[in-house]
Structure 1
């Protein structure tokens, strides 16, 4: 099949252990674009962290950021944004206080990064895009996840086995990628989507070819159509060479 779009998660997928794009990945991504295939990034990172990588690759495709809470037509042109309910952010903060230092958090907002060092005094006037909780104790992390799930307010995923990531209900990398496809006039069946964590599962399931990295969490591998080499072994380059040029 002639795929028209490649959607790449960043951490654990496109980027190596040094948080860089390897020469091999750059070579094959640019080869794909030269062949007329679009390439986008679909990541939990905010646009301010994504734009430099998009520029490095010369991407001219809409970008999915904050796990789908935003879609940018270009790094400076917002297409879509869905925020979290600030009342629910206050509820999460109340829960975290009961765990003290055992659980940490960070949040991506329109205004910037929020963590324990700079919690706003007025949560209601912050534009919350994504809220994440980190905890090294898997029992505690699951307990927090179960409480948040019971509210039926969030899409809950992770980008690492030690965290929980919350987005607005109905928001995921798949919903963001659907927006990108609509902008480009293509179907999700025309997409190769690659990732390694639970926040990648929706887009991997929805894509024409869903790819899990060799370093992916086991649930991701179980639902994928194909398994790539690990991110530190140019897994992205391998899939592009195999499915675009073979």
Structure 2
């Protein structure tokens, strides 16, 4: 195994415990990694405004992958990459959810619309992602049947009760490749940890793919290693095992 030079961490259900907190133990391990010149990169479905404070709290020094890879930012909020969905597409996806009374959120570069709220004009924004939440199995299956033949979108989830949609080809693995190119390292030098389908490709494609024990079953089956849960410092223990 090549030396781990970069650690990419999903946030919800992975780095964060169920209270939305990074434990002191995990903070200390991340600090050790940073002191050994290992890059720690947040790789999340959240938009920048919902994760930047964690990067500051952890004193991270390089990049943040947001909205499932739709954007890559430096920690001082300079944009490296952005991949947007067509406004017509977002509007049709919103209308599909609205017609079926689904809980939805849509993420633009300048605003987040939640609880089925919509802009007056979809074409006045640049769109990163749409999510449908609080879905039962029947609703999930219906949505997947409606969307599965659409080659213009990437379909994942960040929990068992939601579906998230980005532009086709947008994912966390591709974003990590871009960061590796910036840093002059290989994907073999990366450890990535996650729990949901939006983490699948990065876990498949990096040198060490780690699932937390609370991850969805496909993630556990795909990972090279299964660590403890997000409530039991699983991320910290994986960093200690593979990077320190």
Structure 2 length-normalised TM: 0.96
Q: How many residues align?
A: 243
Q: 1:117, CA displacement in angstroms?
A: 5.5
How far apart, CA to CA, are the structure 2 residues paired with 1:73 and 1:97? 35
How far apart, CA to CA, are the structure 1 residues paired with 2:169 and 2:140? 22
Aligned partner of 1:22 in structure 2 is: 23
Alignment of 1:38-187 (within 5 A): 38-100=39-101, 103-116=102-115, 118-187=117-186
Indicate conservation of the 8 Å contact 2:5/2:243, yes or no.
no
How far apart, CA to CA, are the structure 2 residues paired with 1:117 and 1:175? 29
Matched, 1:190 2:189: yes
Aligned partner of 1:240 in structure 2 is: 239
How far apart, CA to CA, are the structure 2 residues paired with 1:36 and 1:14? 20
Indicate conservation of the 8 Å contact 2:39/2:62, yes or no.
yes
Indicate conservation of the 8 Å contact 1:158/1:198, yes or no.
yes
RMSD across aligned positions (CA): 1.1
Change in CA separation of 1:117 and 1:220 when aligned onto 2, cut-off 3 Å = closer
Other structure's SS at 1:159 match: coil
Q: 1:118, CA displacement in angstroms?
A: 3.3
Indicate conservation of the 8 Å contact 1:196/1:212, yes or no.
yes
Aligned partner of 1:209 in structure 2 is: 208
Q: 1:38, CA displacement in angstroms?
A: 0.9
Aligned partner of 2:7 in structure 1 is: 6
Indicate conservation of the 8 Å contact 1:5/1:38, yes or no.
yes
Q: 1:196, CA displacement in angstroms?
A: 0.2
Other structure's SS at 1:133 match: strand
Q: 1:144, CA displacement in angstroms?
A: 0.7
Matched, 1:226 2:225: yes
How far apart, CA to CA, are the structure 1 residues paired with 2:217 and 2:139? 21
Which has the larger displacement, 198-207 or 89-98?
Answer: 89-98
Consecutive unaligned residues of structure 2, counting only runs of 5 or more, are: none
Change in CA separation of 1:220 and 1:97 when aligned onto 2, cut-off 3 Å = same
Indicate conservation of the 8 Å contact 2:83/2:167, yes or no.
yes
